[in-house]
């Protein structure tokens, strides 16, 4: 927790950051980073609720991208070149009762699969479109 509400032990702002790197000559993803923040108790009377936002980024290795470019040159087909995948996520955890919670979640995904060809495009030229994914999680404890 990086900031705590006055008079509350478990309410306030929390943050995270994660980084990772791998050798490009043997891994599809050569760099990964994600970061986010969550705020517990965002509104008066909603002490157990949590609102959060996060962003993740996966860099496709240069070796994999170079392979895509080589295939384009050799085959003469203008396929997409893999480069990165990223996601922006927004969520809200609502403690409805002591035994029931709801958590809507929405994700905006950029370059799904790292900018791979759309399997529904017979030419193989168009990449998969960016996507929006919505979900709802519920928990009932008894």
- Domain interval for residue 84: 17-140
Q: Is residue 85 part of a domain?
A: yes
Q: Is residue 1 part of a domain?
A: no
Q: pTM of the predicted model, to two decimals?
A: 0.88
Q: Is residue 2 part of a domain?
A: no
| Tokens at 78, concatenated | 């203008």
Largest Cα span, the chain? 66
Which residues on adjacent β-strands are paired with residue 106? 90, 134
Q: Is residue 7 part of a domain?
A: no
pLDDT tens track, the chain, 142 positions: 899 888 888 999 999 999 999 999 999 999 999 999 999 999 999 999 999 999 999 999 999 999 999 999 998 888 999 999 999 999 999 999 999 999 999 999 999 999 999 999 998 899 999 999 999 999 999 8
b/e sequence 3-19, b meaning 16+ C-beta within 10 Å: eeeeeeeebbebeeeee
Q: Is residue 132 part of a domain?
A: yes
Report the number of distinct structural domains present in the chain: 1
The neighbour count for residue 106, using CB atoms within 10 Å, is 14
Q: Is residue 115 part of a domain?
A: yes
Q: Is residue 5 part of a domain?
A: no
């Amino acid at each position: 927790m990086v900031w705590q509400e006055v008079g509350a032990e478990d309410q306030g702002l929390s943050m995270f950051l994660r980084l990772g790197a791998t050798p490009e000559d043997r891994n599809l993803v050569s760099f990964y980073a994600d970061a986010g923040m969550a705020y517990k108790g965002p509104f008066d009377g909603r002490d157990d609720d949590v609102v959060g936002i996060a962003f993740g980024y996966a860099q496709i290795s240069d070796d994999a991208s170079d392979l895509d470019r080589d295939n384009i040159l050799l085959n003469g087909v203008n396929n997409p070149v893999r480069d990165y995948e990223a996601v922006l996520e927004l969520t809200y955890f609502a403690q409805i009762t002591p035994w029931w919670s709801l958590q809507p979640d929405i994700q905006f995904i950029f370059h799904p699969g790292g900018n791979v060809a759309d399997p529904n495009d017979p030419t193989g030229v168009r990449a998969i479109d960016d996507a929006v994914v919505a979900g709802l999680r519920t928990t009932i404890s008894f």
